Structure 1
Amino acid sequence: MSQTSPPAAAAPAPADRPPDPPRRPATPAGTAIAAAVLALALAVSAVLAVGLGAAPVPPAETARHLWAALTGGTIAADEVTRHQIVWQIRTPRVVLAAVVGAGLGAVGTAVQAMVRNPLADPYVLGVSSGASVGAVLVGTFGALSALGIHAVAAGAFLGALGATLLVHAVARSRTGLSPLRLVLTGVALSFGFQALMGVIVHLAPDGEAASALLFWTMGGFGAASWESLPVVAAGVTAGILLLRASARQLDAAALGDETAASLGVDTDRLRRKLFVLTAVMTGAMVAVSGAIGFVGLVVPHVVRILVGAAHRRVLTVAPLAGAVLMVWVDLASRTLAAPRELPLGVLTALLGVPVFIALMRRRGYQFGGR
């Protein structure tokens, strides 16, 4: 009598895996807590960064010098040199690092929504390359010399605006500004600007153009001063507030043009407004710091994991996260190889690449919803 063995249980397919646990949506209270924690971390980081350097100053003494400068207090005669180091040299640099980091975090969020591309960053539209051309032209041929120490920064800003106008003119079609045309035009013109920079450096009579090019392509806050800080700080702050006021429209635009139109959002008009606003903010930041990569690319993704994808929450937390990150990256750039400074772009790339790879391999996180 033959016996039939019971059928063997089918082995699970290799692709079978337990589903990810549902992720609890972020709440307004959670966003407020994250913002409060980051604001406190920024204040502590700023005091520590001002005190650390080739001539370290204890945190309590750093705070005393800062308080004296802000309130008009008196400083002992034997502390004048240290006070100048704290207030005139380090504090403008730390404040500028925080301002640029906040701006990059906000602009990166807006640009990714504007072009609906998770790989977009503040420099994807060719603004940084145009700024670099302007800076190198001024440094090589002495244009705008009437502006003195601000000539190179002014040249960089004018170059950024010129690149913005050119990208807008080339990318615009009868149907408006499409995300794909913006990205492709920005990338193509970036290569053209880089080629132009190479020609300028090659024809320059000395090596100053090459050193200027290195700064504007790698970034740095070595030129920070109280004179140049108010303009960029006011511009970045106003830009962040305007972007946050457009958060609901950004939420709609991220769903696609047809869905946004059904919700009453004119995506072409919104894209033009965002294009001008982000270009002006990026140009102002590049003019004082050069091009600093990966911050505007990675910070928005990390913040979305923490507080969700709603742009009002992201644009509340991303500027604070970018500011904290940039303060510590700048501190590392001027202390790791002291007395020489490491280019900020090198450090942000070394930090941003592994973080981005970790995000891609993180279960449950989807770039661009796919």
Structure 2
Amino acid sequence: MFPVGRQGKRGRQRLLFPVLTMVLLGSVLWTIHIGSTEIPIKEVFEICMDQFFYGGEGLKAGKWSVSHFQIVWNIRLPRVLFGLLCGAGLSVCGAAMQALVLNPVGDPYILGISSGASAGAACALLLPISLLSGPFQTTAAAFLGALLSAGTVYFMAKTAGGGMIRPVPLILSGTAVNAVMSAVTSFVIFLAKSPESIAAVYNWQMGSIAAAQWKNLALPAAGVLSGTVIFTVCSRYFDMMMMGDEDAAALGLSVKHFRSLMFGFCSIVVASLVSVTGIIGFVGLVVPHMARILSGTSTNRVIIPLSALGGGIYLIWADALARSLFGAAELPLGIVTAFAGAPFFLYLMIRNGYGGGNT
């Protein structure tokens, strides 16, 4: 097999973006089409176009049944769009964190950010506290939990690694923070009085995008889009970070400030998603590696936007599988992503030699 030259790689990268964009659009239409009530793809497309561009004239003219319109526009489309946002957001955060900590197993779930956001959101939902009034209370609490977890993991890993971020201390720190935050969430559930709230948080802990509605898309969309743009604009600095702290500092980058700022942005993006979806693990681990394999590069200017596209496709189909695998009974999305991601995590651990002697 002939080696692929630099020009060949660039050509493949340029081709990947339009191809994945078309796959993403096709995935949106197809996953709206499938379900307990199967609606023809042509009708799905026409309903979406009518609502986006013609102000619902087709619906007023009776081109489709009201039930089909409700299923497509008010139930399935918001859910699919939220899956797209969630997959894209978790994936770009995973790509960013892998560069920030110079570790191929960096991921919001493994490093405790998701569980921290989950604990914060559970406190806001179940405890009589008033952090912020209105719909932003849960998101604000999730952000504080995510930020606390990220800071704790970073501090523990750097202390255990003798002032440097090393693979094994980082993974162990993330595992410890995950355990503590899960215990906090369980304790809050134990203190709660309402059986309905307890059941809701239990279901939410397993991860799902079933609660997606048009009204709760705006905040995650703002978080994911701004995070993707910021990470892409800063991709050159992420490339410097991948050279190591000393080399990055020699090139003029303020390593400590940049890492802290980007961890903060990751926490905002993850919190905006987890406060609605609950914990969905391993997306940020799997997708950036798939992007590197497909593109043949580790340049973050390519990997970050490619991860956004790939993450959207990945989670849309994972959710379609979750809601169709057992008929009327919906499998939590977090279980599907864990089944796919946990073996990949073990593979990375073995491939990179993170054994007892490799720190």
Shorter-chain TM-score tier: 0.7 to 0.9
From 56, 74, 79, the counterpart of 1:73: 56
Distance 2:123 2:352 in 1: 42
- Normalising by structure 1, report the TM-score: 0.82
Shift, 1:73, TM fit: 3.2
Instruction: Among all aligned residue pairs of Structure 1 and Structure 2, give the percentage whose two residues are the same amino acid.
Output: 35
Q: What's the counterpart of residue 235 of structure 1?
A: 223
Q: What's the counterpart of residue 325 of structure 2?
A: 336
Give the SS at the match of 1:205: coil
Shift, 1:188, TM fit: 3.0
Shift, 1:182, TM fit: 6.6
Q: What's the counterpart of residue 115 of structure 1?
A: 101
Q: What's the counterpart of residue 12 of structure 2?
A: 30
Quick check: 1:304 aligned with 2:286?
Answer: no
Q: What's the counterpart of residue 310 of structure 2?
A: 321
Provide Cα deviations, 1:109-166, integer angstroms capped at 9, x if missing partner. Answer: 1101111111110234432222222332233335459966765455434533454566
Distance 1:146 1:257 in 2: 38
* Aligned-partner residue type, residue 223 of structure 1: A
Distance 1:155 1:324 in 2: 29
Quick check: 1:345 aligned with 2:334?
Answer: yes
Give the SS at the match of 2:215: coil
The equivalences for 1:54-133 within 5 A come to: 54-71=36-53, 72-74=55-57, 75=59, 76-77=61-62, 79-133=65-119
Distance 1:345 1:315 in 2: 23
* Aligned-partner residue type, residue 322 of structure 1: G
From 183, 192, 214, the counterpart of 1:226: 214
Figure out how many residues of one structure are paired with residues of the other and give that number: 346
From 114, 119, 134, the counterpart of 2:120: 134
Alpha carbons 1:103, 1:281 under 8 Å: kept? yes
Q: What's the counterpart of residue 242 of structure 2?
A: 254
Compared CA separation, residues 330 and 219, structure 1 to 2 (3 A): same
Alpha carbons 2:117, 2:270 under 8 Å: kept? no
Q: What's the counterpart of residue 288 of structure 1?
A: 276
Give the SS at the match of 2:193: coil
Alpha carbons 2:158, 2:165 under 8 Å: kept? no
Q: Greater CA deviation, 127-136 or 222-231?
A: 127-136
Alpha carbons 2:147, 2:264 under 8 Å: kept? no
Larger Cα Rg: Structure 1 or Structure 2? 1
Flag structure 2 segments of 5+ consecutive residues without an equivalent: none
Distance 1:354 1:169 in 2: 28
* Aligned-partner residue type, residue 345 of structure 1: G
Flag structure 1 segments of 5+ consecutive residues without an equivalent: 1-19
Alpha carbons 1:156, 1:283 under 8 Å: kept? yes
Q: Greater CA deviation, 201-210 or 337-346?
A: 201-210
Distance 1:84 1:228 in 2: 17
Distance 1:352 1:116 in 2: 20
Compared CA separation, residues 140 and 359, structure 1 to 2 (3 A): closer
Q: Greater CA deviation, 138-147 or 50-59?
A: 138-147
RMSD, aligned α-carbons: 3.1
Shift, 1:195, TM fit: 1.6
Compared CA separation, residues 296 and 212, structure 1 to 2 (3 A): same
Compared CA separation, residues 31 and 57, structure 1 to 2 (3 A): same
Shift, 1:304, TM fit: 0.9
Q: Greater CA deviation, 94-103 or 114-123?
A: 114-123
Distance 1:163 1:354 in 2: 24
Distance 1:325 1:359 in 2: 19
* Aligned-partner residue type, residue 225 of structure 1: Q
* Aligned-partner residue type, residue 66 of structure 2: V
Compared CA separation, residues 189 and 102, structure 1 to 2 (3 A): same
